[in-house]
A and B are shown apart, each in its own frame.
Chain A
Amino acid sequence: MRLDTTDRQLINLYQRELPVCERPYEEMSRQLGIAEEEVIERLQSLQDSQVLSRVGPVFEHSRAGASLLAAVAVPEEQLDLVAARVNRAPGVNHNYAREHIYNLWFVMTAPDEDTLDDRLDELEHQLRLPMLRLPMVEGYHIDLGFDIDWEALP
């Protein structure tokens, strides 16, 4: 999706350090030289068109609760069906098909480790498919707020 210059600037400036003050969108609007109302409208429209998943905080996963990357090996023709089942399990926030024997990869979150284990046990039992459980040992770089390379985009 092609964005105009103002939307690009909005993203360039505010993937992090969104102001914490009474009128944050007003402060952003002064930086961008547009009206506060327009900032809000643009953010709403970027959310509606799925360019933004949200405006908000990204929590540090290890402090916010429990989370784990899991993968299942699914017969190719059942992939959509199994993906929908995984999405119905509580706490699933990422779910992708990938090119591998383990072809469905998802992240599950929970308030604590015990709840997470129970949820995964339940899902594994339902799916009856081999499941990899890959908790994070150490993160060396875990922040997807990288600068967008607008020139490279289609």
Chain B
Amino acid sequence: MPETAAGGPVSAWALLRLRRQLELGLPLTPRPYLTLAEMTGLSEQEVMSAIRQWQSQGLIKRLGLVVRHRTLGYTANAMVVWDIPDEQVQSLGQRLARAPFVTLCYQRPRQRPDWPYNLFCMIHGVDRQRVLDQLTTLIADHGLEQIPHDVLFSTKAYRQRGGRYVSGD
């Protein structure tokens, strides 16, 4: 629990208000943390120390410019899904995550019979053919020729925004 400069506890409600505001983004004012302080009933120092603490605890993964890749021209976005034997999924997941063009990689449960796949890799690309070439490279580099997979290109983005865990809609 973050503490005030005087060492007393900061109100949990004020911290929840701060998280709610942060989910919507940092204000573009010369002193954004002061603006957040005024919105949430904290001091500027309390806002900054809460954010630093959340960064060091890992609640905040990164703080910075959140890019919409599609607007920039990354329009060939493939979700590649694999049906990997359970005993290999962790080690393969770790290896595929390190491929330079794999932008996201995670394990999810199968939902047989409709969904046999347990590992997901995203490739954000500019050009569909280039993404497919990268996939061919990935398969060759990691010996995945026998692993069933499917490629789901996205065709339309209906919504893309940050998670609003506490702020709601």
Contacts and interface: CB of A to CB of B under 8 A. Distances in A.
Nearest to B57: A63
Contacts of A87: 158-159
Contact of A95 (B79, B108, B115, B157): B157
B139 interface: no
A54 to B, nearest CB: 3
Contacts of B57: 63
Contact of A59 (B23, B103, B158): B23
A52 B34 contact: no
A86 interface: yes
Given A44-B28, A140-B94, A145 B62 contact: yes
Q: Per DSSP, are chain B's interface residues mostly helix, strand or loop, or mixed?
A: mixed
A56 interface: yes
Contacts, number: 262
A56 B72 contact: no
A138 B107 contact: yes
A135 B28 contact: no
Chain B interface size, under 10 / 10 to 19 / 20 to 34 / 35 or more: 35 or more
Nearest to A110: B165
B169 A140 contact: no
Interface string B90-129: 1001101110001111111101001100100000101100
B105 A140 contact: yes
Contact of B68 (A10, A53, A60, A61): A53
A51 B58 contact: no
Given A40-B30, A105-B79, A138-B106, A143 B163 contact: no
Given A24-B32, A57-B60, A95 B158 contact: yes
Chain A interface size, under 10 / 10 to 19 / 20 to 34 / 35 or more: 35 or more
A98 B79 contact: yes
A97 interface: yes
A34 interface: no
B111 A134 contact: yes
Interface of A: 1, 3, 10-11, 14-18, 20-26, 36, 40, 43-44, 46-47, 49-61, 63-67, 69, 71, 83-84, 86-87, 90-100, 102, 105-107, 109-111, 130, 132-146, 148-149, 152-154
18 contacts: A14-B64, A22-B44, A23-B31, A47-B28, A53-B162, A54-B24, A57-B23, A59-B23, A63-B57, A71-B115, A94-B159, A95-B160, A98-B79, A99-B152, A132-B111, A134-B108, A136-B107, A144-B67
10 closest A-B pairs by beta carbon, nearest first, are: A65-B165, A54-B25, A141-B97, A140-B97, A56-B25, A95-B158, A97-B156, A153-B73, A95-B159, A98-B152
